[in-house]
Amino acid sequence: MMGYGRSKLLLGSEVPVANIPTLRRTVPPSPKPGTRVDAALDAAAARAGAVHAAVAEAAERELEHLRAVNARLRHELAALQLREAEALRLADRDGLTGLYNRRRMFEFLNAAIAEAGQQGQHVGLLFVDLNGFKAVNDVYGHAAGDRILTTVATRMSARVRTGDIVCRYGGDEFVVVLPNLPDAGCLMPIAEAVAERIALPYWIKGQEQHLSAAVGEAVYPRDGEDAESLLHRADENMYKEKNDSAQPPTDAGTLSRLCRRRNDKP
């Protein structure tokens, strides 16, 4: 190469001016913009952009999937909560009338007795049985009987105090728990009001029907100191009332008189 080695050229040795054109033809030109280096960089950037776009698209799909899963789980949770609430309601309530059931009645009664024992108060209990219900149910059918029971539940609930608990004990029998009574005499007016309300007419298929109620009373601690004893005494008094009349009474005055219970212990 014109007598000059590569080392001399690189070290900047003096080169005769006459040999410069030859050197220019010998040394390769520097790369220009748009040549292979730029092309490689452009290709790398394109690949990186494609990878980024693919990752972003995959992430968006995953996010949409997670959103859909979250929405489904929320829906399932809401459905489970509704079913749980309904199960709890059915565990505490009578399915027909919506009143508290027998199990819940015992819980209320036991709690009321415990509180009354601490505060020196009374707890009242009414055991209510419908007179004439079976005949109406047999003649007009179970659907009509169900409507009567629902109406009775509504009427009884409207005649008790706030805080009193009306329960369907079973069939055509109802129980009312009356906590925090100042004295035993407070129970009689409530029993009379309940009986009078039940004695109002019922309309079934355009026909006026009359029912009555036998109401048995019991008071804590006079008639018993636990729930079972009170319920037993109220049940006994209810059957005594049924036996006091050969025919079921239908007027409110007779019902009121029959509701007056004996105050003496057996």
Helix boundaries (H) for 93-180 = 102-119, 133-140, 142-159
**Of the listed 94, 129, 164, 172, which one is catalytic?**
172
Query: E strands of the chain, at which residues?
Result: 122-131, 165-170, 173-181, 202-204, 207-209, 212-220
Residue 120's closest CA among 217, 190, 220?
220
Name residues whose C-beta falls within 8 Å of residue 59's C-beta, 6 or more positions apart in sequence.
none
Distance CA 20, CA 216 (A): 132
Torsion of CA 66, 68, 72, 74, to 10 degrees: 70
Give the three-state DSSP class for 122. Answer: strand
Tell me if residue 172 is catalytic.
yes
- Residues annotated as part of the active site: 172
